[in-house]
Amino acid sequence: QVQLQESGPGLVKPSQTLSLTCTVSGASISSGLYYWSWIRQPAGKGLEWIGQIYTSGSTNYNPSLKSRVTMSVDTSKNQFSLKLTSVTAADTALYFCARDASAYVRDNSRSTKTYFMDVWGIGSTVTVSS
Amino acid sequence: EIVLTQSPGTLSLSPGERATLSCRASQSVLSSYLAWYQQKPGQAPRLLIYGASNRATGIPDRFSGSGSGTAFTLTISRLEPEDFAFYYCQYYGYSPLWTFGQGTKVEIK
C-alpha cells in the first residue's frame, strides 16, 4: 500500500530555512498519475495548504506563502521536498505531505474529474525557536 | 478566494445519534470539487467523501455527503465511538488551489 513519510529537522531558528522531505513508498512519483502536496497545521488549529508539485517539477503554491516556498522532486529517490525561508514562530506547525488524486464522478448528467488528497503522511512537527 | 465556513464549531452528541455537519462556501462552487476529511488527535486527516457525495474506499456507509451551490453537509447516520473526531471540508480549484474549512469537532456528550 502507498505510504508517505515526512522527515527533517524538528527545530529551526527564526529567519532560517525550514526543509522537509517526503519519501513515498508503494507508488512511483515518476508514474505521473498524481500531484504531491504539503499541508501544515499549527497546534490546535486547522489545515493550511502550502503547495503542490508534479513529477515534472511543475508547482502550484498558496499565494500567502508563495514568496517563501520552494518545492522540488527527486524521482530517483521517490521523494519530494519543501523549503520555507525566513521562518518565524508563526511557521511552527505539524507539516504533512499528501498525495493529490483524482477520479471521475457523476455531476447531474455529466462525468466530471474531481480531486482530493487520498494518502497522507503521519506528519512532522517543526518548531521555530531560537 | 473561496472561504469555507463550517458549523457548528463543536457538536456534542451521544453514540448512536445522528450528526449533521455543515460547510458553507463564500460563493457558489462546483460540488464535484468538495471533499470531507476526518482527523483524530495525533493522526493525519483521512479522506471520507469526495465529489460532495462519493464515499472513499473503505469508508462505512453511515457516512454520507450532500449539497450543492454554497451549502454542503456531512451526515453520520449513527455515531460509533470511533467517529468522535474533527471533520474538515475542503475545496479544490481556486486560489489558493486547495482551501479547507476551519473544522467541526464532534465530541461525546
- pLDDT digits 0-9 by tens, B48-83: 999 999 999 999 999 999 999 999 999 999 999 999
Grid coordinates representing A84 are: 520555507
Q: What is the pLDDT of residue B96?
A: 80
The rounded mean pLDDT for chain A is 95
pLDDT, average across residues A104-117: 87
Lowest mean pLDDT among A94-98, A110-114, B24-28: A110-114
DSSP calls for A88-116? -GGG-EEEEEEEEEEEEEEETTEEEEEEE
Query: How would residue A108 be classed by pLDDT, with cut points 50, 70 and 90?
Result: confident
For residue A37, which residues of chain B lie inside 8 Å, CB to CB? 98
Q: What is the pLDDT of residue B94?
A: 76
Instruction: Report yes or no: B30 at the A interface, CB cutoff 8 Å.
Output: yes
Phi/psi of residue A50, nearest 5 degrees? -95, -45
Å between A110 CA and nearest CA of chain B? 11
Query: How would residue B95 be classed by pLDDT, with cut points 50, 70 and 90?
Result: confident
Across the interface, do B100 and A47 touch by the CB < 8 Å criterion?
A: yes
Query: How would residue B104 be classed by pLDDT, with cut points 50, 70 and 90?
Result: very high
Query: How would residue A110 be classed by pLDDT, with cut points 50, 70 and 90?
Result: confident
Query: How would residue A23 be classed by pLDDT, with cut points 50, 70 and 90?
Result: very high
Strands A79-84 and A18-25: antiparallel
Percent of chain A with pLDDT over 90: 91
Grid coordinates representing A40 are: 501544515
3-state SS, residue B33: helix
